[in-house]
A and B are shown apart, each in its own frame.
Chain A
Amino acid sequence: MALSKKEISILIEIIFSILFTLIFLPYFYRNQDTSFVFSELIGKVSEIIIFSAVYFSIAYSILELSYKSKITEDERSNMINSKSYKLGYLLYEFSLFIFIGTLINYSIFNNGAIIFLVISLLLIVSVIKSIYQFYLHRTF
């Protein structure tokens, strides 16, 4: 199966997302029942935000240098992007409902479970969006 540069870059993006999640998910999976104190929770969230900013800056810089600079963005790729981002937007909205519903039903605020849930939802949405984008590039 011959893949275009754009398709390879989408696959790399999926791998980056999964790697990022694998770094943080196990910690929160182990601490699902832990009630973090608010300052500790803020600390952990800040750590994730800083780490993710650094991680994705490095990851996307590598991707940009190795692949994206050679990829021609045209009307077809813009259309595929808009379709996949539309799906991503709908999935994020759906995830928000799941998130709020879980908060109401299980009262897990302050627990490791809340971060585990957020990271899991973000990963699922991001991966589904990228897979759909990949599928459109293959078939459209």
Chain B
Amino acid sequence: MELKNNLKELRNKKNFTQDDLGKNVGVSRQTIISIERYRYKPSLELAMKIARELNVKIEKLFYFT
């Protein structure tokens, strides 16, 4: 079971750049890139901040495969 996400698609839908989203949730652009590439698994706090920023439920943003 692997944790994946729809961050890139949902971010593009909202017309956010990686830098914009990073600034809004208080992390670097590199952290957003790492999450999008499934390299870094964010903390629950960061995951919830991103979900809130993108206005989606956390389970729509992150899912198991």
Contact = CB atoms under 8 A, between A and B. Distances in A.
Q: Which of B30, B42, B46 has the most CB of A within 10 A?
A: B30
Size category of the binding interface on chain A: 10 to 19
A75 B42 CA distance: 8
A71 B34 contact: no
B26 A76 contact: no
A140 B27 contact: no
Interface in A23-43: none
A4 interface: yes
B27 A74 contact: yes
Contact of B39 (A71, A74, A139): A139
B28 interface: yes
Nearest to A79: B40
B26 A140 contact: no
A83 interface: no
B46 A4 contact: no
Interface in B22-36: 22, 26-31, 34
B43 interface: yes
B39 A77 contact: no
B40 A74 contact: no
A75 B27 contact: yes
Contact of B43 (A4, A6, A75): A75
Interface of A: 4, 6, 71-72, 74-77, 137, 139-140
Across the A-B interface, the 10 shortest Cβ-Cβ residue pairs: A74-B27, A72-B28, A76-B31, A4-B30, A74-B31, A76-B40, A75-B43, A74-B28, A140-B39, A140-B40
